[in-house]
Amino acid sequence: MREIARVSGRRVWDSRGRPTVEVEVALRDGSAGRAIAPAGASCGSGEAIDLRDGGRSFGGLDVTRAVVAVGTDIEPALRGVDAADQALVDARIDAADGTGDFSVLGGNAAVAASLAVGHAAAAARKMPLWAHYADIFQTAPSIPLPEIQIFGGGAHAARRVDVQDFMVMVPGASSFDEALAVTAEIYRAAGEIMSERGQLQGVADEGGWWPVFESNEDALETLVAAIERAGEVPGERVVISLDIAATQLCVDGGYQLVLEESRLDETRFLDLLEEWRRRFPIAAIEDPVSEKSVAGMANFTRRNPDIQVIGDDFLVTDARRVESAIACGACNALLVKVNQAGTVSRAVAAHKAAAAAGWGTIVSARSGESEDVSIAHLSVGLGAGQLKVGSFARGERTAKWNEVLRIAEHFGDGDFAAGAPLASTWWGKRYGSGL
């Protein structure tokens, strides 16, 4: 019996130098596990509450209340529970909070505890976390296609450009290692181009180059140039993916583009995105409209059935929102962020709801991260086809890519998702059956 004996919390630090919650779980058999809560900057309003102290310390972002809740509420709720019973563990955490949005315990305390229990259970079972997850959630593990940021923008770069993530995917790669290697060349080429133009100014929150551009199109043109300089033909092995994070741009129902000094209504904004996808080899767009605009999301998905339309702030890793989006044809892929949901079980429920409808799922990190690699294991264990953890620099990002490289050694090349998640997109139709 892998009974939980002790659950303790501590304050640690994230990649933005902000406080966050770490939870450590010890089992009666001596096994232990720990996990660290991540934190977003561009958050959906329906996310589990990231509990902060307020006041003056650390800009109000201290986590004393959440850390205390681990000892006063979460430990008593979990003591004696079988750590391998993640559903019961998460139900107990849910009940201890009692609000549904984790505003009492803090989603940060809840998610760190939920993940830490999985690590402890996997240790007790003497198996890797990904294998433990695949077993308890009855999923088929696989190695995901990475989605990697080259330029950071939006809320991660002081709104220097409007679009938040300019990313690439290498669906034409034959292994995870090859996908990373191709991306490394593109990342390097992009840095060289910025340097030659005198525009190299370090990196944004997730390790992508700081976006010194004249316009959003300038960023896209530079990305295409970097792909070419890396010796690739844009749109063949390599495609572009954008996270618009449009909720952040939305003011009074219109979309404000800072560099272009324009304000567009939703129809004209969607026209602009469609113009970009005609000009550039874009295979996926995340949050193209505000989280409030169900009609806009359904409209964009209907008009662009041949790209991935991914819901992040729009769906907040909530199975019920996924079900209603499926019913009205909004989105065709789900971003899975465990801390948006608050527990692993809730995140897995959202993943399963999406996968059952034939949607792709992308397990994702947050802009505030740490050395914690739980989501690398979750993406493999669930067989989610894609993984997004930011860019190719900074240790909190490479920790996750490197962990998947290690895990992939237990798999064959045939277990790499490669372009399969993009099968229904224009890329899949053009190249999917074999490059």
| Positions in the binding site for ligand 2PG (CB under 6 A) | 40-43, 155, 164-165, 206, 243, 245, 312, 364, 366-367
* 243 counts as binding Mg ion under rule CB under 5 A: yes
Q: Which does 366 bind (CB under 5 to 8 A by kind): ligand 2PG, Mg ion, none?
A: ligand 2PG
50 binds, among Mg ion, ligand 2PG, none (CB under 5 to 8 A by kind): none
- Of 50 and 94, nearer to ligand 2PG (C-beta) is 50
Q: Which is nearer to ligand 2PG, 222 or 364 (CB)?
A: 364
C-beta neighbour count of 28 within 10 angstroms: 15
Q: Among residue numbers 126 through 185, which ones bind Mg ion (CB under 5 A)?
A: none
* Nearest approach, Cβ of residue 262 and ligand 2PG (Å): 23
Q: Which residue has the tokens 């979750």?
A: 378
Q: Residue 369 interacts with Mg ion (CB under 5 A)? A: no
Q: 208 Cβ partners below 8 Å, 6+ apart?
A: 149, 150, 151, 152, 153, 156, 165, 166, 390, 391
**Rounded CA separation 72/64 (Å):** 12
> Based on the number of CB atoms within 10 Å of its own CB, is 309 exposed (0-12), middle (13-18) or buried (19 or more)?
buried
In the numeric block, the tokens 């976006």 are attached to 211
Nearer to ligand 2PG, 86 or 343 (CB): 343
Phi and psi at residue 128, to the nearest 5°: -65, 155
Question: What single letter denotes the amino acid at residue 192?
Answer: E
22 binding partner (options Mg ion, ligand 2PG, none; Cβ < 5 to 8 Å by kind): none
Q: Note the Cα 185 to chain centre separation in Å.
A: 23
Give the strand pairing for 282-286 and 308-311. Answer: parallel
In whole angstroms, the minimum distance from the beta carbon of 386 to Mg ion comes to: 13
Count of residues that bind Mg ion according to CB under 5 A: 3
| 115 vs 342: CA distance, rounded Å | 10
Q: Are 379 and 351 in contact (CB under 8 A)?
A: no
The answer to whether the CB of 126 falls within 8 A of the CB of 119 is no
Please enumerate in sequence order all residues whose Cβ is within 8 A of that of 160, keeping only pairs 6 or more positions apart, or say none.
Answer: 153, 204, 210, 211, 212, 213
Nearest approach in angstroms of CB 312 to ligand 2PG is: 5
CB of 389: closest distance to ligand 2PG in angstroms?
A: 9
Q: How near is the Cβ of 156 to ligand 2PG at its closest, in Å? A: 6
**Site pattern 275..304 for Mg ion (x: CB under 5 A):** -----------x------------------
Output 94 or 206, the one with its CB closest to ligand 2PG.
Answer: 206
Contact between 312 and Mg ion by CB under 5 A: the answer reads yes
Cβ distance to ligand 2PG smaller for residue 248 or 343? 248
Q: Which is nearer to ligand 2PG, 293 or 367 (CB)?
A: 367
**Residue 364 contact, options ligand 2PG, Mg ion, none, Cβ 5-8 Å cut-off depending on partner type:** ligand 2PG
Rounded to whole angstroms, how far apart are CA atoms 342 and 296?
Answer: 27
- Return contacts of 50-59, CB within 8 angstroms, 24+ apart: 50/106, 50/107, 50/108, 50/339, 51/102, 51/103, 51/105, 51/106, 51/107, 51/108, 51/109, 58/18, 58/19, 59/18
Give me the least distance between CB of 276 and ligand 2PG, in Å please. 18
As annotated, the active-site residues are 206, 337
Measured at CB, which residue is nearest to ligand 2PG?
Answer: 40
Q: Which residues bind Mg ion (CB under 5 A)?
A: 243, 286, 312
